[in-house]
A and B are shown apart, each in its own frame.
Chain A
Amino acid sequence: MNYIPLEEDPKLTLLGKFIRINWILVFLIIVLSLIGFINLYSVGGGSFYPWVIPQLQKFSFGLVIMVGIALIPITFWRASAYQIYFFGLILLILVEIIGVRLMGAQRWLDLGFIQIQPSEIMKVVMVMALANYYSQIDPGKVSRLHYLIFPLVLIILPVSLVFLQPDLGTAILLLVGGGIVLFVSGVSFFYFMGVFFLFVGTLTAVMMSRDTTWQLLQDYQFRRIDTFLDPNSDPLGNGYQIIQSKIAIGSGGLTGKGFLNGTQTQLNFFPEKHTDFIFPVLAEEFGLFWSLIILIMFLGFVIVCLYEAVKIEDRFSSLLITGLAGTFFLYFTVNLAMVTGLFPVVGIPLPLISYGGSALLSLMISFGFIQSAIIHDVKEQ
């Protein structure tokens, strides 16, 4: 088998690399972030503090990280994939031991100068490790059972650790994100069908475990399921967020109530509006037109990535791009489904738009990897 040599392609100059960056993706990233800043300004009650300026700093830092990663050859990243994965896993374990407990979940690692959320890092590096694995084995043999053991271990280790934090939402997204890489690698449909039925079975078991000694979920997670099924059953408790979020989105109408004029937003009728519930702010103040434009930009980002993944010859790069774009897709889809009441509240922020450093950083890192893969695909020349 031929592998692309690990050495950097000598023909690629720094300027050449910049030219090869996919500028459509960069444009979408910047526009979406700008929309994010505008909304954070509104959430702050018409002020750059406390959200816009810090987020702008984080975004600038993220841009630098993205470009830095993008300029490093993809071959380097492939070679380091397992080491980075291992490092991420160590951080996840550290979180279990010395993590900071916030809002009932142990997700944060305090490194003194910065608090990081290793589960955010993990969703990038796990995809990278899986892509590395599948770029090395014979594509014809991916569905063989013993070839599945190692990637499943790669997925299940971080998923279990995140699940224990407990962070059900991220755990599920990690699982599905890994699944996407397996799917694109060509693993047989039958396995996915099997997993699907297993999932349905597990779900049944989980629901049946309620109020027994072997209860499989936390009480609050069960309540969230109840509330999801009928938000009005608990209008002042768990259902409150969903009801108020839907009111905000719905009352925005076609054209919105105008910048800084969203009554639901400005009068503080739903919580977490700078993080998980930032989309209702936008939908309320700008209306359906802009809601759909955001959605189309998100989808457009994913489609451009998939186009690049198909175009690139290198299997690692294709799998990496597909996996990272798939994770990105999952995040915004779950968030939008959540705020529109299609999916339970699982605590997933809207990528690029919600406030938050850790999520943004891992996002920019993953964009860096995508760009690196695009820049360093030199097969066509």
Chain B
Amino acid sequence: MFGLDTPKLLGKRRLTRRVFLLGGIQLALGSVIGYRLVQLQAVNTEDFQQLAENNRIGFSLIPPERGLIADRNGILLAQNEKEYWVTFVPEETLNKRETLEKVAQLIYLPEEDINEIMYRIDHQPSFIPILVKDKVTWEQITALSVNGPALPGIYAGFGSVRFYPQGHSLSHLLGYVGTPSTIEIEENRGFESLLNHPNFKIGKIGVEKSFEMDLRGTPGSRKFEINSTGRKIKELESNKPVQGKNIQLTLDAKLQDYTQLVFGDEVASAFLMDMEQGDVLVAASKPTFDPNLFAVGITSKDYREYLENPYAPFFNRPLAGQYAPGSTFKMITLLAALESGLIDENFTFYCNGAHEVGDHTFNCWNSHGHGTVGIKKSLKESCDVFYYRLAEIIGIKRIAQMARRFGFGIKPDIPIPDVTTGLMPDSEWKKNNLEQNWVIGDTLNSAIGQGFILASTAQLGIMLARMITNKLVVPRLVKSIDGREQPVREWSTLGISKKNLDLVLEGMEAALNEQKGTAFESRTIDENFIIAGKTGTSQVRRISTQEREEGVKKNFELPWDQRDHSIFCCYGPIDKPKYVASVIVEHGGSGSKVAAPIGREILMRAFYNRLPPLRAYPEEVRSKVIEMRLNFGINPAPPKNKEKTRA
């Protein structure tokens, strides 16, 4: 039928060849695909399974509740309060604007806020909740819930916000929490996801900062299956957050409150310790600020007001303030002299109101002179000339060494961030820092706590506690963490002769309890609670020779910031000392008139554990005490719990 070489046969043969070739190419390409499938699904499948798992799983962090802070008696100083807010899930309603306008009728929601929410609705997936309003009251939440059916997509959310029930009185020591800064996030490597959580707050200052890791707690987490748009499909796993550890401080909130009250309008600080275990009961600073403003986010106006206040309300005076200790330092000079053996207990010196060294005249505060002054009288009447003489005898080195044993120039071990070291100078220090030689005048000034010496209120209290106990007293601020009592440290002995210490204490008793004592007016007359102490008036300006000749200006004649600091450190009861207190009133004038009555008030308040009974005061000051109580609003009745200060 077909010829052998017809074009048709030729065509068929060639076609068959080409079809085979095509089939071969197609099988080859098919094998490439097959190989690729084996590669993806058999060889590398584990990698892809991991990638698929990463796609599928979403985490969300639940910030932990912060630990509570209480005072020694269990009064809450820092707690967590519920805060409410309102969110809106756009996809659950058709007319979004109408829903929001209904919400605006129930809670205050300005037109521009609605517009902003509408803008966000148009620019993000509609299942993501949008914050409508935060800091909503419980009443508003109730109003919204009642109208729930008419408000599809509107939800109430709540979280916790830090609240400080004691308000202003402890803010320096407690500190406050706030949104972590970029620096804080960098410092907390490994906790970034928690610190970046919108509901997380970090301790900024004070105990809240230094015990951040204890108070913080452990965040919980939720593991979700999510889809490509991030919508949560189902919960796979969840871990509850663990609340931070509760901390009990050694502070006495009521005593601290009382201290703030008796400061009146002064710019002042006080420090009070129980000497048994070194418990810090009071560390008060005035003026102060409201930590609750920070916990909810302080407005820039409020913040500016605080910053522009000339009395620096953020300054933690009892621990961070540095002052010349004035005459309260005289005990150190005296102890240095007695311990050196260069003088004995019978040493006397004649004070005629001034002391000549070379061509310089060093004046006593009493220009009429104290006459013949012995050890007891030197403290009781605080004679400067006596100490100028001691300084000449023993030199700065012995004074500085003794001072350091009592904590001058050494940072007190108190676990909050802004504790000052103070300064105890000697010739070496002056050379290194001022590049000047130490002169005898420096020694004389140092001997009466003037010149370069700087100490905090707390350091003065620690000094006195060490004198009374003859031990290396270390203050204790934290009583227990997480219910576990913090160990009380064993204090090593100071190794100072008891006889010499007793001489010093006798002088301090005389200063309050004998006629002509500098703080005689600030004595107590309850035989169960007799106190002792030492005043100080630290000069902040140089008095010129000319002024001295014309008569030294009285403090009230000077501008506030040139007046003397008023200082007092005291303890009681003298027969079995338990409490030690130190008070510094900035530019308050004489120590005996301003700081000493405050010191007595807080010691008595600590001892009686209630408003001090009038009978304990000397008769001549009782009317003054009553007047003070009226002025400062101190009632004999036990103070009620303060009203919450939060808006």
Contact = CB atoms under 8 A, between A and B. Distances in A.
Interface of A: 1-2, 138-140, 180, 183-186, 244, 246-254, 263-264, 267-270, 283, 287-288, 291-292, 295, 298-299, 302-303, 306, 309-310, 313, 315, 318-319, 322, 326, 329, 333, 336-337, 340, 342
A140 B19 CA distance: 17
A247 B41 contact: no
14 contacts: A2-B8, A139-B7, A139-B12, A184-B18, A263-B52, A263-B225, A268-B227, A309-B15, A310-B16, A310-B20, A318-B12, A318-B15, A322-B22, A333-B33
Contacts of B40: 246, 249-250, 283, 340
- Decide if the interface of chain A is mainly helix, strand, loop or mixed: helix
A365 B228 CA distance: 38
A185 B42 CA distance: 41
A291 B56 CA distance: 23
B298 interface: no
Contacts of B80: none
Given A139-B14, A250-B44, A303-B23, A269 B8 contact: no
Interface in B13-39: 14-16, 18-20, 22-23, 26-27, 29-30, 32-34, 36-38
Nearest to B56: A263
Given A247-B55, A306-B19, A1 B41 contact: no
A249 B41 contact: yes
Contact of A246 (B26, B48, B233): B48
A186 B55 contact: no
A269 B229 CA distance: 8
A250 B229 contact: no
Interface of B: 7-8, 10-12, 14-16, 18-20, 22-23, 26-27, 29-30, 32-34, 36-38, 40-42, 44-45, 47-49, 51-53, 55-56, 225-229, 233
A298 B53 CA distance: 31
Nearest to A138: B7
Contacts of B23: 302-303, 306
Contacts of B225: 263, 267
Contact of B41 (A185, A270, A291, A326): A291
A267 B29 CA distance: 32
B37 A295 contact: yes
Given A288-B42, A322-B19, A326-B22, A315 B229 contact: no
Contacts of A288: 37-38, 41-42
A319 B8 CA distance: 13
Contacts of B49: 250-251, 253
Contact of A329 (B15, B26, B38, B56): B26
Given A253-B42, A267-B55, A184 B48 contact: no
B229 A268 contact: yes
A249 B48 contact: yes
Most buried by A among B16, B30, B225: B30
B434 to A, nearest CB: 64
B227 A139 contact: no
A269 B58 CA distance: 14
B30 A333 contact: yes
Contacts of A2: 8
Given A267-B228, A333-B33, A186 B18 contact: yes
Contacts of A299: 26-27, 30
Given A247-B48, A288-B41, A140 B11 contact: yes
Contacts of A270: 228
Contacts of B51: 247, 250-251
Contacts of A315: 8, 11-12, 15
Q: Enumerate the 3 nearest inter-chain pairs by beta-carbon distance, A residue then B residue, closest first.
A: A139-B11, A250-B48, A251-B52
A263 B49 CA distance: 10
